[in-house]
Amino acid sequence: MKQNTPPTSRREFIKQTSTFAAASALAGVALPHVHAAENNTIQVALVGCGGRGSGAAANALAIKYGPIKLVAMADVFENRLQKSFGELKGKFASQVEVPQDRQFVGFDGYKKAMDCLKPGDVVIMATPPAFRWVHFTYAIAKGLNVFMEKPVTVDGPTSKRMFKLGEAATAKNLKVGVGLMSRHSRALQELAKRVHDGEIGDIILERGYRMHGPVGFFSSLPKPADVKELFYQIQRFHSFIWASGGNYSDFYIHIIDQLGWMKNEWPVKAQALGGRHYRQSPEGITYVDQNLDTYAVEYTYADGTKFFFDGRCMTGCKDIYSSTIHGSKGMAIVSKSGDCGGPSSIYKGQSPKSADRIWESKVAPDELDPYQNEWNDLVYAIRNDKPYNEVKRGVEASLVTSMGRMAAHTGQEITFEDMLDCEHEMAPDLDKLTADSPAPLQADAKGKYPVPQPGITTKREY
């Protein structure tokens, strides 16, 4: 595969750390009461009203800094929009002003929702990540600040597109948050500082795990006859690589991102194993999604340091969901449980024995939730006109995640440059999509979709 220099360095993402750290340090500072007037209210539009979108909207409405209101919503599924609206209205009655004429259903709903905002307002992008570049393009044209969920890309062509869009947003002084909330965990921020200052010595090994039973739309049964193919794939986006990067990208990106942060650079290559095992429902019906059940990925950094990531979605197996780093002077638990579950801790040996613990994170009660922290940090930057753009790092994290996924799906060693330069755009022309468009992926005569074939299909993932 091609070994070209990418337009963005794997190491340059650290340059933004000081900016975000400054915003985080000020997160607990009380601001003067200068934002009470109605014309200082930040208006928010929610595009993508699923569970994560609704959660992001709730965090937005609970921010510390000044008045904020939800004024528009959009989704391609009416029932999902109505469920989200009901839940948010019930919890934030005075802050949710979304009458029916500002509730938009359809593939052009994102435009209509953003058209309800004024420059400087905020749009939440929480659709499947395949649509991120489409929606971000329109938000930049409208002069809107943005919060976008992760991943932000799933292939090389859209990653190159998003790098350029991130630069365009900076040129217009727009503030953009990316939903990699680990970076806003106060425990992980303190741990990163200690690791970067050499407290555990040189990093010699990183380990990440997310192994549990199937969740979300990991597996899918054949499409019901009364459902359109396109809507079936969007609704069950975890099952389709074009829509989400599959379970690998959507489930595993947080731990991959946080361990790159701890190392202070991105891996340069990956080789991997993956398996698709007993892919049948309890009723004996074969699942038709594109996911593998198991992944074992060896990431390598430029200095040869290894990062091993294990992922599994299978019932009846041992559950492990955590991340750890080993250094020449000791070790650290990054996430004790989950994507960024505290406390984080440092030990003087290579085993996490209580007697050997030399530091454990302690976080103020009002800053324990990294999902809320990332919104407080974003809105602080908006209110105070501070530089704030997480797009470049978000794209890089998405690329490194895709690099491991492609290594497993092809059976090849994949470099950062290979992933970036891979010409397979899985879902082109999504900006032209309508309800009558064919789905980006087509099933065969038996209703099955193409799955990765390592060693057979080696230049693309399916």
CA distance linking residue 168 with residue 158, whole number of Å? 15
CATH value at residue 52:
3.40.50.720
- Residue 30's pLDDT is 36
Residues 115 and 255 in one domain: no
Residues 415 and 286 in one domain: yes
Residues 152 and 50 in one domain: yes
Which pLDDT band, with edges at 50, 70 and 90, does 1 fall under? very low
Q: Residue 176: beta bridge partners?
A: 146, 389
Domains held by the chain: number: 2
- Residue 446's pLDDT is 86
Residues 403 and 377 in one domain: no
Residue-wise pLDDT tens digits, 179-195: 999 999 999 999 999 99
pLDDT of 166 higher than 70? yes
Find, among 227, 229, 234, 400, the residue nearest to 302 by Cα. Answer: 400
Residues 113 and 212 in one domain: no
Q: Within a domain: residue 134?
A: yes
- Residue 278's pLDDT is 87
Residues 192 and 177 in one domain: no
Note down the domain range covering 425: 185-364+399-432
What is the rounded average pLDDT for all residues in the chain? 92
Q: Within a domain: residue 450?
A: no
pLDDT of 227 higher than 70? yes
Q: Within a domain: residue 276?
A: yes
CA distances to 157, 164, 258, 425, 458 from 415, in Å: 15, 21, 19, 17, 14
Residue-wise pLDDT tens digits, 127-147: 999 999 999 999 999 999 999
Whole-number percent of the chain with pLDDT over 90: 90
Q: How many C-beta atoms surround the C-beta of residue 315 within 10 A?
A: 8
Q: Within a domain: residue 211?
A: yes
pLDDT of 6 higher than 60? no
- Residue 12's pLDDT is 44
Residue-wise pLDDT tens digits, 229-284: 999 999 999 999 999 999 999 999 999 999 999 999 999 999 999 999 988 888 99
CA distance linking residue 151 with residue 397, whole number of Å? 8
Q: Which DSSP state fits 287?
A: P
CATH value at residue 213:
3.30.360.10
Q: Please, where are the H alpha helices in 299-338? A: none
Token reading at 228: 């359109």
Geometric angle at alpha carbon 83, from 79 and 88, rounded to 5°:
150
Check residues 223 and 25 and name the one with the higher pLDDT: 223
CA distance linking residue 96 with residue 194, whole number of Å? 41
Over residues 393-414, the mean pLDDT reads: 98
Residues 30 and 42 in one domain: yes
- Residue 39's pLDDT is 75
Geometric angle at alpha carbon 238, from 156 and 128, rounded to 5°:
60
Over residues 348-361, the mean pLDDT reads: 97
Residues 176 and 203 in one domain: no
Q: Which residue has the tokens 């019901």?
A: 224
- Residue 15's pLDDT is 41
- Residue 17's pLDDT is 41
Residues 252 and 382 in one domain: no
Residues 383 and 313 in one domain: no
Q: Within a domain: residue 460?
A: no
Find, among 141, 127, 136, 140, the residue nearest to 54 by Cα. Answer: 127
pLDDT of 432 higher than 80? yes
If you write DSSP's letter for every residue of 159-190 in order, what string do you get? HHHHHHHHHHHHHTT--EEES-GGGG-HHHHH
pLDDT of 11 higher than 90? no
- Residue 417's pLDDT is 98
pLDDT of 28 higher than 90? no
Residues 189 and 178 in one domain: no
Whether 66 and 95 have beta carbons less than 8 Å apart is answered as no
Which pLDDT band, with edges at 50, 70 and 90, does 24 fall under? very low
Over residues 296-316, the mean pLDDT reads: 98
Over residues 368-376, the mean pLDDT reads: 98
pTM: 0.91
Which pLDDT band, with edges at 50, 70 and 90, does 20 fall under? very low
Q: Within a domain: residue 323?
A: yes
**Dihedral pair phi/psi, residue 274, rounded to 5°:** -160, 155
Which pLDDT band, with edges at 50, 70 and 90, does 10 fall under? very low
Whole-number percent of the chain with pLDDT over 70: 92
Residues 151 and 197 in one domain: no
Which pLDDT band, with edges at 50, 70 and 90, does 392 fall under? very high
